[in-house]
Structure 1
Amino acid sequence: MKCILIKNAKIVNEGVIFEGDVLIENDIIVEIAESISAKSSDCQIIDAEGNYLIPGAIDDQVHFREPGLTYKGDIESESRAAVAGGITTYIEQPNTIPNAVTQEILEQKYELAAEKSYANYSFMMGATNDNLEEVLKTNPRNVAGIKIFLGSSTGNMLVDNEDTLEKIFSSTPMLIAVHCEDEETIRNNTEKYKAEYGEDVPVTMHHLIRSEEACYISSSKAVALAKKTGARLHVFHLSTAKEMDLFTNKIPLEEKKITAEVCIHHLWFTNEDYATKGNLIKWNPAVKTANDRKVLWEALLDDRIDVIATDHAPHTLEEKQQPYLKAPSGGPLVQHAVVAMFEAHHQGKISIEKIVEKMCHNPAKLFKIENRGFIKEGYYADLVIVNPGLPWSVKKENIFAKCGWSPFEGFTFKSRITHTFVNGQLVYNAFKVKNIRAGKRLLFDR
């Protein structure tokens, strides 16, 4: 039996921080107490004195690029970056090549992850205008949910047929996650700025092209359709103040049929940063204004927004250095998401308990992930030790993502991840990822 005893930790769980010890046997947390003695001489003891012990973060939206786009990233490289950043579980999206829009292709991704993943994993089933039959075959026990792109994406994944949308919403009992941007509005805005600038539209126009209006038109339609059909809707990467009126904090998360997510980049950057960061912060939906960011923070803290994610979506630096209209949207974020939120804590914006709620507990509740997301006896030992006072700077040589760059490059974080455990195995320690692919396929309690 493999035994690890974590001593003297500031344990963060369910809105409380308390000092204590955690005993792990094999892949399970077996005891949590004020003081635990090692039961055998071969039990590894880790002294976490002065540091926080949090559940491993659960990132409900990543793009790890495998299969088909592995020159940008792959399951192995990006899951290594995730565990280095304290993310022990991820849910990956279907816009790989080929798109995961049949059960056969979806299962092939699970087979790849079983061989390669350092972190726990699930993959979304993708919807199109014409694959309803395949969508309805999806197993709710071992697949996270159904993903619908209501804005353009890779391949044939834009779902813009209203009859099809209503059929998907009304016929699947599973969680439906949506990317909301109105394609017609974006096309019209693009033409408007091309008329002004030609092909040399500056990136500073990105938030005006993929505008507040484009986001609101699409997200309000999705919310209205969910209310009409009773669908279980989760809206990914919200970016505008206006959209916050669509969501409620009046009922507990467990009772919500419509839930909301915000990503690290929309909480961190504003359109003013395009001048220095350029295409490195070109995402869809776009990073918007300082007021949008302010209201997103307010909605996060008052529980209209339920989850913090990354939308980790790496591209090569060469791709990002193309002119704005040609440069792809997305960037790598899994390695720096948890420490970025701890940075916000240092700035007085959010409590550590709230970070854990939004990055660990709520994704587990929202997707009904079995025995993860909390520090509880009987749960899987997905755990992270965070030193809140060990500064480090993001440099090319310490970036784990395959693309080799980060929008945080040059920034010095005050906090550092020192240990990451996945299923009871210490996969990251002393700023190195061990060659242990400890990830397991997620199961869902539904």
Structure 2
Amino acid sequence: MSCFLIRNAKIVNEGVVFEGDILIENEFIKEIAKQISPKSSDCVIIDAEGSYVMPGAIDDQVHFREPGLTHKGTIETESKAAVAGGITSFIEQPNTVPNAVTQELLEDKYQIAAKTSYANYSFMMGGTNDNLEEVLKTNPRNVAGIKLFLGSSTGNMLVDNPEVLEKIFSSTKMLIAVHCEDEATIKANTQKYKEEYGDDIPMKYHHLIRSAEACYLSSSKAIELAKKTGARLHVFHLSTAKEMDLFTNKIPLEQKQITAEVCIHHLWFTDADYDAKGSLIKWNPAVKTQADKDALWKALLDDRIDVIATDHAPHTLEEKCNPYLTCPSGGPLVQHAVVAMFEAHHQGKISVEKIVEKMCHNPAKIFKIEKRGFIKEGYYADIAIVNAYLPWNVKKENIIAKCGWSPFEGYNFKSRVTHTFVNGKLVYHNGKVKEAKAGQRLLFEREV
């Protein structure tokens, strides 16, 4: 039997912080109490005094690049970076190569993860203009949801046929997650800047090309369609102040049919950072203005936005050095997401309880993930220990993602993830990922 006893912890769970011990036996949290005596001499004792002990974060949007784009990252390399950052479960997107748009291709990814993932995993089924039959075969018990790109993406994944879109929305009870940017607006804006600058458009115009209007046009249509059809909609990576009026905090999360996500980079960077960071902060949707960032923070704290995620999407540094039109959008974030939010906590922007709500509890609730996202007896022992006062500097030598760079490179974080448990196994400890590929396929509490 595997046994760990975490002592003197500041346990963060369901809106409170309380001091106590946590006993882990095999895969599960066996006991939580003020003081626990080890039941066996083989039980490994970890003294967490002064540290926060939180549920492992659940990242509902990552791109781990396997299959087909493994020069950028693999399920193995990126899940390794995730557990180093206190993320114990991830939901990966279908725009790999080939796109995961058939049940067979989707299952191929699960087979890879079963052999190689350090973290728990689920993969979204991708929708296209012509694969509704395949989409409807998706098993709600063991697949996180359906992903639709309503703006350009890799391969044949742009869903731009209104009739197909309505049919998907009205035909499935599964959660539909959407990337919302209006393709026609982006194309027109790109052409305008291309006429002025040629192929080498300055990066600082990215947020004007993939504009606030492009985001709002698309997200407002998706929400209107969800209300019309009764679909369960989850809107990924919101980036604008204007979109915040589309969401409500007037009902409990469990009753929401339309939920919202914000990503680390949209809470951290603004268009003022393009001059210094350039392509390293080129994401879709784009990082926008300080006013947009302020509005995102406000909506996050008042519960119009429900989840904090990463949209971890690594590219090689060589690819990111391309001129604007050929430079891919996206960057690595899983290793630094939790500590970035703790940095915001140190700045007085957010409580630790709220971080846990948005990164652990709410993803579990929204996707109805079975026995994860909380520190509760009988739940899987997915746990991160965070020392809020153990500074470290991000540098190439400690970046774990395969691409080997980070938009946070050179930054001094005040907090550090010291331990990560996945299914009761200690997979990360003080800067080292252990060779323990402990990830399991996520299951969902839904009717089949």
Match of 1:372 in 2: 372
1:217 correspondence with 2:217: yes
Task: Output the CA distance in 2 between the equivalents of 1:309 and 1:376.
Answer: 23
Q: CA deviation at 1:302?
A: 0.1
Q: CA deviation at 1:237?
A: 0.1
Structure 1 counterpart SS, 2:260? strand
Give structure 1 stretches of 5+ with no counterpart. Answer: none
Q: Within 5 Å, which residues of 2 pair with 1:16-415?
A: 16-415=16-415
- Spell out, residue by residue over 1:142-165, the C-alpha distance to the aligned partner (whole angstroms, 9 max, x if none): 000000000000000000000000
Task: Output the CA distance in 1 between the equivalents of 2:269 and 2:2.
Answer: 43
Task: Output the CA distance in 1 between the equivalents of 2:277 and 2:381.
Answer: 38
Structure 1 counterpart SS, 2:440? coil
Q: CA deviation at 1:23?
A: 0.3
Letter in 1 for 2:388: P
- Spell out, residue by residue over 1:308-348, the C-alpha distance to the aligned partner (whole angstroms, 9 max, x if none): 00000000000001111110000000000000000000000
Task: Output the CA distance in 2 between the equivalents of 1:326 and 1:118.
Answer: 32
Q: CA deviation at 1:194?
A: 1.0
Task: Output the CA distance in 2 between the equivalents of 1:383 and 1:201.
Answer: 44
Q: CA deviation at 1:195?
A: 1.3
Letter in 1 for 2:391: P
Letter in 1 for 2:442: L
Q: Percent identity?
A: 81
Match of 1:430 in 2: 430
Task: Output the CA distance in 2 between the equivalents of 1:336 and 1:75.
Answer: 17
Structure 1 counterpart SS, 2:324? coil
Letter in 2 for 1:186: I
Task: Output the CA distance in 2 between the equivalents of 1:109 and 1:152.
Answer: 23
Aligned pairs, number: 446
Task: Output the CA distance in 1 between the equivalents of 2:195 and 2:426.
Answer: 55
Structure 2 counterpart SS, 1:194? helix
- Spell out, residue by residue over 1:190-223, the C-alpha distance to the aligned partner (whole angstroms, 9 max, x if none): 0111111122210010000000000000000000
Task: Output the CA distance in 2 between the equivalents of 1:108 and 1:187.
Answer: 34
TM-score, structure 1 as length reference: 1.00
- Spell out, residue by residue over 1:97-143, the C-alpha distance to the aligned partner (whole angstroms, 9 max, x if none): 00000000000000000000000000000000000000000000000
Give structure 2 stretches of 5+ with no counterpart. Answer: none
Q: CA RMSD in A?
A: 0.3
Task: Output the CA distance in 2 between the equivalents of 1:314 and 1:42.
Answer: 40
Letter in 2 for 1:374: F
Structure 1 counterpart SS, 2:111? helix
Q: CA deviation at 1:382?
A: 0.1
Structure 2 counterpart SS, 1:249? coil
Q: CA deviation at 1:435?
A: 0.3
Task: Output the CA distance in 2 between the equivalents of 1:24 and 1:434.
Answer: 18
Moved over 2 A (4+): none
- Spell out, residue by residue over 1:275-321, the C-alpha distance to the aligned partner (whole angstroms, 9 max, x if none): 00000000000000000000000000000000000000000000001
- Spell out, residue by residue over 1:66-87, the C-alpha distance to the aligned partner (whole angstroms, 9 max, x if none): 0000000000000000000000
Letter in 2 for 1:347: Q
Structure 2 counterpart SS, 1:259? strand
Letter in 1 for 2:294: K
Q: CA deviation at 1:430?
A: 1.8
Task: Output the CA distance in 2 between the equivalents of 1:430 and 1:417.
Answer: 8
Task: Output the CA distance in 2 between the equivalents of 1:155 and 1:370.
Answer: 32
Letter in 2 for 1:39: K
Structure 2 counterpart SS, 1:325? helix
Structure 2 counterpart SS, 1:178? strand
- Spell out, residue by residue over 1:34-81, the C-alpha distance to the aligned partner (whole angstroms, 9 max, x if none): 000001111110000010000000000000000000000000000000
TM-score, structure 2 as length reference: 0.99
